[in-house]
């Protein structure tokens, strides 16, 4: 346990904690991107919001830059417009127009950095702030979650879009939920007990209850009574999803800080893709595990067992 804890901290400090250089490259990229927007859309009011791991405390030197543009110029929501403009400025791009959140994926060959851009999809800004809050509550969160992200990337099980496995965001949800369900818990439940709007209604209206407790001053040291080490936690995380979690009936719910059942959510019938169920904490009708099919989930489970 001691040796594993030391290894996690060593990897965290030497390889995962973002380098000053990588932070500078991200800053330069954002400036360059802002200049392109001003040049190509003079006079348009377009705000750039950086979200995801560049700002939630869970990024590494190799993380991409996630950007949300907000603007009243709705024509920008057609991501092919952005695509055309970016190509003019020598960016390599790839559009995913039919995703739930349409994005342009960018690779900047000059700065050697990747970025995902969406337009007017602000919900991710709120879940970014939620993750920032969890990171601030206990000093173990950052190295623990980064160790898990690192493992998933090494084992090729961190690619929802092209690999049919799970996104970083989904893995982070699993890791945070695991820390909420320790005894005593390391992380609190931040969301109000009941959704103030009924989930089906939310989905129909496209509305989401965005409230959660972000009072870091009050939450800091919440996990003080739990003395588990990083090494033990990592071991217990692998064991939980290798042997203890019931994939057939359980749903991971970070919003509630516990497991729900598929029957409770009405996820026990219909689409077979509901094999690994991880509830999105704000848009609770979404299963973050939907990107992985039965075979992928079997593979992921074998990875937990191997680990
Ligand atoms: N996101 C989301 N719903 C998803 C996937 C992603 O809302 N199903 C949002 C989240 O705000 C997340 C951000 O998009 O923080 C970026 O997602 P992702 O790149 O998967 O996570 P990162 O934490 O940025 O991980 P990485 O360092 O691997 O880029
Ligand atoms: Mg990212």
Phi and psi angles of residue 295, each rounded to the nearest 5 degrees, phi first: -70, -40
Residue 272, SS3?
Answer: coil
CA of 266 to the centre of ligand 1 (A): 26
What whole-number distance in Å separates Cα of residue 10 and Cα of residue 8?
5
> Between β-strands 92-96 and 250-253, what pairing exists: parallel, antiparallel or unpaired?
unpaired
Instruction: Give 127: exposed, middle or buried? Use CB within 10 Å, 0-12, 13-18, 19+.
Output: buried
What is the per-residue pLDDT for 208? 82
Cα distance between residue 215 and residue 137, in whole Å: 10
113-119, strands of its sheet edge to edge: 46-51, 65-71, 113-119, 103-108, 92-96
Atom of ligand 1 nearest to the CA of 59: 27
- Which helix H or strand E contains 137, and what residues bound it? helix 123-137
Instruction: Starting from the CA of residue 122, give the closest ligand.
Output: 1
What is the pairing mode between strands 258-261 and 277-279?
unpaired
For ligand 2, the distance from its centroid to the CA atom of residue 132, given in whole angstroms, is: 14
Ligand 1 shell residues, CB under 6 Å = 51-53, 56, 58-59, 63-64, 66, 124, 127-128, 167-169, 172, 288
Instruction: Provide DSSP, 151-197.
Output: HHHHTT---TTTSSS--HHHHHHHHHHHHHTSSS-SS---S-SS-SS
Give the per-residue pLDDT at 272.
61
Q: Which CATH number applies to 123-306?
A: 1.10.1410.10
DSSP letter at 290 equals G
Contact 214, 130 (CB under 8 A): yes
- Nearest residue (CA) to ligand 1, atom 4: 169
Q: What is the DSSP string of 47-107?
A: EEEEEGGGTSS---TT--EEEEEEES-GGGGSHHHHHHHHHHTT-EEEEETTSSS-EEEEE
DSSP structure string for 8-19: HHHHIIIIISPP
CA angle 19/159/256 to nearest 5° reads: 90
Eight-class DSSP state of 268: S
Give the model's pLDDT for residue 204: 64
Shared fold status for 17-120 and 123-306? no
Instruction: State the 10-residue block means of pLDDT for the chain, 307 residues long.
Output: 98 96 97 97 97 96 96 96 97 94 97 97 95 98 98 97 94 98 98 67 72 95 97 98 97 97 90 83 94 95 98
Closest ligand 1 atom number to CA of residue 286: 8
CATH fold, domain 17-120, is Beta Polymerase; domain 2 (3.30.460)
Say how many Å lie between the CA of residue 46 and the centre of ligand 2.
21
What pLDDT sits at residue 161?
A: 85
Tell me which residue has its CA closest to atom 13 in ligand 1.
52
Token code pair at residue 70: 């907000």
For the chain, give percent helix, strand, coil, nearest 5. 45, 15, 40
Residue with CA nearest ligand 1 atom 8:
288
Structural domain spans, the chain: 17-120, 123-306
Report phi then psi at 35, rounded to 5.
Answer: -65, -40
């Amino acid at each position: 346990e001691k040796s594993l804890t030391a290894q996690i901290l060593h990897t965290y400090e030497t390889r995962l904690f973002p380098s000053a250089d990588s932070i500078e490259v991200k800053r330069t990229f954002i400036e360059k991107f802002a200049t392109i927007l001003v040049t190509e859309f003079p006079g348009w009011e377009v705000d750039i919001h950086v979200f995801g791991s560049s700002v939630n405390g869970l990024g590494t030197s190799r993380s991409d830059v996630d950007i949300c543009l907000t603007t009243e110029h709705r024509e920008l929501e057609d991501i092919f417009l952005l695509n055309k403009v970016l190509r003019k400025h020598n960016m390599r791009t790839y559009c995913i127009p039919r995703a739930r959140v349409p994005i342009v994926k960018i690779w900047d060959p000059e700065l050697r950095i990747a970025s995902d851009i969406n337009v007017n999809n602000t919900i991710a800004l709120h879940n970014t702030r939620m993750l920032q809050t969890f990171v601030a509550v206990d000093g173990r969160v950052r190295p623990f979650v980064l160790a898990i992200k690192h493992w998933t990337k090494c084992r090729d099980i961190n690619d929802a879009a092209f690999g049919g496995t799970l996104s970083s965001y989904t893995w982070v949800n699993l890791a945070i939920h695991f820390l909420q369900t320790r005894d005593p818990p390391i992380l609190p439940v931040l969301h109000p007990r009941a959704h103030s709007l009924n989930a089906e209604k939310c989905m129909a209206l496209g509305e989401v209850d965005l409230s959660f407790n972000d009072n870091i001053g009050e939450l800091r040291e919440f996990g003080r009574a739990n003395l588990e080490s990083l090494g033990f936690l990592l071991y217990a995380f692998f064991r939980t999803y290798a042997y203890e979690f019931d994939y057939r009936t359980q749903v991971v719910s970070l919003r509630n800080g516990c497991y729900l059942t598929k029957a409770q959510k009405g996820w026990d019938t219909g689409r077979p893709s509901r094999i690994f169920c991880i509830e999105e904490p704000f848009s609770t009708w979404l299963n973050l595990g939907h990107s992985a099919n039965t075979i992928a989930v079997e593979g992921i489970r074998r990875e937990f067992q191997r680990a």
